[in-house]
């Protein structure tokens, strides 16, 4: 019950154990088409360029930046936690210029600041932000931020690593141009895959580049030949076949449950957890109005040893929760309610175990 990876469903583990097919086998290519359709459902998009990158969410992040940012491009990056800072790193490594819009940890990105930054510099090409900031438990207002990007004719680039499958994500409805996620959070799949999706507008930008994409492996111009639809596929790399079996099964489970039902399950789980923590005298670190239900950030009471509590939970109760990162290190715990792990019995176990350790 930490910030990820989350527990993996037995159905997904069973899928992982199926016999390995060749990555150009006709049967496997059919499965790829199904994965693409299921990802389009999860992202709520019709984007043709929707696929899993054969590497973790960090590679999905790099794929989005490496394909859209050329040397000299200005990119506005919203930073209110660790993962916004990683976006800045990607801009710099692509030769771009990062216009950083910073807010306090534990607070939402300030829309007025973003509006002012985009208004002041018409040369900004992309607005990048983290939808669900895993380091702080904050949900940024993705819909409003995308509207600002559209207002100033910028591309929107969104980190949905912790949000996909846990809270509403609406790529087409919000007008998101590039988005990446991870297999190991609310999808409850094994780590190592990063679903991404690019709008037709983003694809035009990629195809019109004057500099080659700096990463051969992550160049969408090359990968699209493998992740197309039907027909003969162009060999690009050896796909992680068994991991894709697992992703297919996890996406199938999400489809069977229904997006709205999955979002509601995470919201209900959060309420149960918050009530239980409150009964122990523990406070949430993030305002309820923009708190993530799937990543709960809890203040550590004065006099309580962070590492000792987490160690005892792991060794005595077989329960993992996460430590704070960056500015929150030593001050908060991060309790995950993601995908398969978001169930009442886990929440009861977490609250009861914490009660025994801290009291």
pLDDT of residue 235: 87
Q: What are the tens digits of pLDDT across the range 172-220? A: 999 999 999 999 999 999 999 999 999 999 999 999 999 999 999 999 9
Chain mean position to CA 279: 31
Across the strands, what pairs with 127? 76, 156
Percent of the chain with pLDDT over 90: 94
Q: What are the tens digits of pLDDT across the range 115-133? A: 999 999 999 999 999 999 9
Using the Cα atoms of residue 318, residue 270, residue 279 and residue 299 in order, give the sign of their dihedral: positive
Predicted confidence band of residue 229 (pLDDT cuts 50, 70, 90)? low
Residues in the chain, overall count: 359
Predicted confidence band of residue 74 (pLDDT cuts 50, 70, 90)? very high
pLDDT of residue 247: 98
pLDDT of residue 270: 98
Nearest to 196 by CA among 305, 332, 56: 56
Sorted by sequence, the CB contacts under 8 Å of residue 32 that are 6+ apart come out as: 227, 239, 244
Predicted confidence band of residue 228 (pLDDT cuts 50, 70, 90)? confident
Sorted by sequence, the CB contacts under 8 Å of residue 95 that are 6+ apart come out as: 69, 70, 71, 72, 73, 214
Encoded tokens for 55: 């590497």
Q: Is the pLDDT of residue 231 over 60?
A: no
Q: What is the mean pLDDT of the chain?
A: 96
Spatial distance between the Cα atoms of 282 and 272, rounded to a whole number of angstroms: 14
pLDDT of residue 11: 97
Q: Is the pTM of this model over 0.95?
A: yes
Q: Is the pLDDT of residue 36 over 60?
A: yes
Q: What are the tens digits of pLDDT across the range 141-165? A: 999 999 999 999 999 999 999 999 9
């Amino acid at each position: 019950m930490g910030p990820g990876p989350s527990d993996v469903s037995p159905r997904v583990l069973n899928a992982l154990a199926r016999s390995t097919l060749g990555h150009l086998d006709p049967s496997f290519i059919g499965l790829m088409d199904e994965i693409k359709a299921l990802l389009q459902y999860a992202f709520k998009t019709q984007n043709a360029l929707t696929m899993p990158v054969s590497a973790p969410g960090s590679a999905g992040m790099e794929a989005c930046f490496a394909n859209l940012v050329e040397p000299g491009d200005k990119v506005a990056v919203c930073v209110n936690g660790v993962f916004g800072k990683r976006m800045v790193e990607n801009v710099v490594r692509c030769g771009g210029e990062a216009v950083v819009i910073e807010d306090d940890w534990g607070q939402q990105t300030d829309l007025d600041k973003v509006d002012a930054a985009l208004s002041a510099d018409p040369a900004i090409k992309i607005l990048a932000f983290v939808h669900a900031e895993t380091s702080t438990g904050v949900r940024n207002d993705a819909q409003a931020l995308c509207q600002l990007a559209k207002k100033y004719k910028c591309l929107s680039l969104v980190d949905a690593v912790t949000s996909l499958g846990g809270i509403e994500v609406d790529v087409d409805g919000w007008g998101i141009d590039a988005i990446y996620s991870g297999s190991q959070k609310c999808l409850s799949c094994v780590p190592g895959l990063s679903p991404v999706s690019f709008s037709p507008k983003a694809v035009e930008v990629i195809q019109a580049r004057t500099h080659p994409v700096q990463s051969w492996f992550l160049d969408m111009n090359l990968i699209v030949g493998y992740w197309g639809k039907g027909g003969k596929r162009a060999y690009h790399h050896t796909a992680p076949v068994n991991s894709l079996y697992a992703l297919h099964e996890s996406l199938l489970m999400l489809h069977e449950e229904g997006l709205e039902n999955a979002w509601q399950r995470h919201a209900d789980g959060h309420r149960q957890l918050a009530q239980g923590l409150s009964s122990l005298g523990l406070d949430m670190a993030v305002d309820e109005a923009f708190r993530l239900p799937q990543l709960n950030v809890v203040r550590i009471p004065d006099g309580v040893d962070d590492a000792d509590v987490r160690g005892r939970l792991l060794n005595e109760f077989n329960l993992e929760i996460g430590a704070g990162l960056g500015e929150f290190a030593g001050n908060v715990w991060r309790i995950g309610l993601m995908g398969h792990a978001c169930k009442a019995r886990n929440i009861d176990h977490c609250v009861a175990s914490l009660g025994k350790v801290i009291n």
